Amino acid sequence: MKKNLVSFMLSGLLLAGLVACGTKPVDPNPTDSSEEPTTTSYVNPEDDPEWVDYTKQVNLTKDYAGKEFLTAGIGEVTLVTKVDGDTAHFKQKSGNTGTIKGRYNCVDTPESTGMFEPWGHGASEFNGDLLKNAKHIVLSTDSLDNGGEEKPVLDSTGGRYLVYVWVTTEENPVLEDFINVNLALCQYGWSKAKGVTGKDYADPFLNASVQAQKYKLHLWSDEQDPDYNYADPVKIDLRMINEGIGADGEPYDWVGSKVTFEGIVAGVGPDQGAAYINKDITYTNTAGETVTQRYGMYVFTQYIVYAPLTTIGNELEITGTVSEYNGVLQVVDVSYSALYPEDDDMKILSTGKEADVAPLTGNAGKFASDAYLNCMVSVDLVCTGGYATLNTATTSAYSFTLYCHDKNNPSEELNIRIVDGISIKYPGTLKRIGDNIDFFAGKKSIAESLDGSTDNRKVESISITGGLVKYTTTKGKTTYQVNLCKAAGLTLNMSAA
């Protein structure tokens, strides 16, 4: 059965990545015809009788039935989200259902989130397709990492688990039906073997990497990546990016394009190093009216801290690539160096402009729209539900989604999102939203909601300041959320004691 899986699942993906020729995003103002995308042609290496499929030689040998990854270092999981080529989030099928942030062992694919590198997009798609098509997913830990004990192991960040990811398309699989996704990434040239010395599958990883280099697959190729944008950046403004307008005034999708724009740091976080950039832009609309509108953008830095983005009120010129995350635009692949500046580095144009980007205020109905996406906003809400999710690599880092409506108008919905990297004042309280929601509606006191408390105050509303984003649920419903940037942006407004 494993032979069918590899032939259908991997060979098809390989051919799609090698034979189909992609194109880079189109520059709306091309200046050099030499920037046209390079057409790349490949021969399927599996047609060569010397080709070795190492994914067939490495089997899942340890039984996972009835085991949980968080306690035994092996167990079946379900996919929460694919992040990039070598990172994904999972939940156990049984036991603790907190989020397992998995960092793939023995590989390091090119970047495709906060930074863009050639072949990163393809690696991310390859990983995502294997996970999406899998009927069963199993995580396991290397015996060298855990010292032979039955336990999972954290990576150097302390927030992710080092994992081997095994997948199969069989409904009722046996162990030999599973293939190792980490090894497949290496075998098909989406990653080099990394840190494999002494690991359980060191030889297959090294051999697969050497073979991929021999056949010049993907990152080993002499050709350019057809999915990577090699063009120079185009100087535009935040309105053009957000409204999808080209330099000629015609509709244009900027996702994938390298751009240069100006804006002011309006909020810092919630991801380390990241920031919300806002700017008021005055323009003439189609009716001939002069309009001033605030536009925003989230700059994601792959958790690298760049000094210009750390201070609210810094007016910056930023060069990066427009991407999309959960239906919201963001700019990634930015750079800055005070000692060795480059042309495309961020530039500080002025400082002290906090007042120009003070958070917008209003009701939930005003902000439950695309008009102010990525802008910093402040609003008073009443919580009506929600859930908390533990990052299982920790004992106390919870992320929260709170279902809310406007303080004065229950028909206006707007949610709150708090990532697990923010240490808020009320973690114990917010964890109880599932069984004590009346507390947030001002009907129950803290004493009734928290065991042992003598505080009789009630929550009348929640004041939140953060970046406006939107999220589409698995059922296709689009919700708007205020993304908390720092702990000080969240206040529970209590009734008098």
How many other β-carbons are positioned within 10 Å of the β-carbon of residue 290? 8
pLDDT for position 437: 64
Does the structure show a pLDDT above 70 at 34? no
The type of residue at 198 is G
* Residues pairing with 387 in the sheet: 401
Whole-angstrom distance, CA of residue 265 vs CA of residue 277: 5
The distance from CA 281 to its chain's CA centroid, rounded to whole angstroms, is: 29
Average pLDDT over residues 185-196: 96
Average pLDDT over residues 212-221: 94
Does the N-terminal peptide bond of residue 233 adopt cis geometry, omega within 30 degrees of 0? no
pLDDT for position 495: 77
Whole-angstrom distance, CA of residue 178 vs CA of residue 78: 15
Whole-angstrom distance, CA of residue 299 vs CA of residue 418: 18
pLDDT for position 455: 65
Phi/psi at 196 (nearest 5 deg)?
A: -95, -10
pLDDT for position 116: 83
pLDDT for position 156: 86
Average pLDDT over residues 94-119: 89
pLDDT for position 30: 37
pLDDT for position 445: 64
pLDDT for position 248: 84
The SS3 call for residue 12 is helix
How many other β-carbons are positioned within 10 Å of the β-carbon of residue 495? 11
Give just the sign of the alpha carbon dihedral 28, 31, 33, 35: negative
pLDDT for position 266: 98
pLDDT for position 35: 39
Phi/psi at 103 (nearest 5 deg)?
A: -105, 120
Task: Find out whether 185 and 204 touch, Cβ atoms under 8 Å.
Answer: no
Architecture of domain 234-357: Beta Barrel (2.40)
The type of residue at 208 is A
Does the structure show a pLDDT above 80 at 295? yes
CATH class for the region spanning 360-494: mainly beta
Q: Return the domain boundaries, the chain.
A: 2-220, 234-357, 360-494
Task: Find out whether 404 and 459 touch, Cβ atoms under 8 Å.
Answer: no
Average pLDDT over residues 432-450: 61
Residue among 296, 226, 231 at smallest CA distance from 257: 231
Whole-angstrom distance, CA of residue 365 vs CA of residue 356: 23
| 132-169 residues labelled b (16+ CB within 10 A) or e (exposed) | eebebbbbbbbebbeeeeeebbebeeeebbbbbbbbbb
pLDDT for position 21: 32
- Average pLDDT along the chain: 86
Q: Write down the CATH number for the domain with range 2-220.
A: 2.40.50.90
Average pLDDT over residues 155-174: 93
The type of residue at 435 is D
What CA dihedral angle connects 66, 71, 72 and 76, to 10 degrees? 50
Does the structure show a pLDDT above 60 at 203? yes
pLDDT for position 37: 36
* Residues pairing with 388 in the sheet: 400
How many other β-carbons are positioned within 10 Å of the β-carbon of residue 269? 22
The length of the chain in residues reads 497
User: Where is pLDDT greater, at 477 or 357?
Assistant: 357
How many other β-carbons are positioned within 10 Å of the β-carbon of residue 408? 11
**pLDDT tens for residues 345-404?**
999 999 999 999 999 999 999 999 999 999 999 999 998 888 888 888 887 888 999 999
pLDDT for position 19: 36
Q: Where are any strands of DSSP class E within 106-256? A: 136-140, 161-168, 179-180, 234-235
Does the structure show a pLDDT above 80 at 32? no
How many other β-carbons are positioned within 10 Å of the β-carbon of residue 184? 27
Does the structure show a pLDDT above 50 at 449? yes
Average pLDDT over residues 327-337: 94
pLDDT for position 40: 35
**pLDDT tens for residues 114-141?**
778 899 999 999 999 999 999 999 999 9
pLDDT for position 353: 98
pLDDT band, residue 330 (cuts 50/70/90) = very high
User: Strand 100-104 and strand 161-168: pairing?
Assistant: parallel
Give just the sign of the alpha carbon dihedral 320, 322, 325, 328: positive
The SS3 call for residue 404 is strand
pLDDT for position 497: 55
Least confident of 25-29, 189-193, 279-283, 457-461: 25-29
pLDDT for position 438: 64
pLDDT for position 442: 60
Average pLDDT over residues 249-270: 94
- Check for a shared fold between 234-357 and 360-494: yes
pLDDT for position 44: 67
pLDDT band, residue 112 (cuts 50/70/90) = confident
Q: Show the CA angle centred on residue 245, arms to residues 244 and 249, nearest 5°.
A: 160
pLDDT for position 334: 96
Average pLDDT over residues 241-261: 92
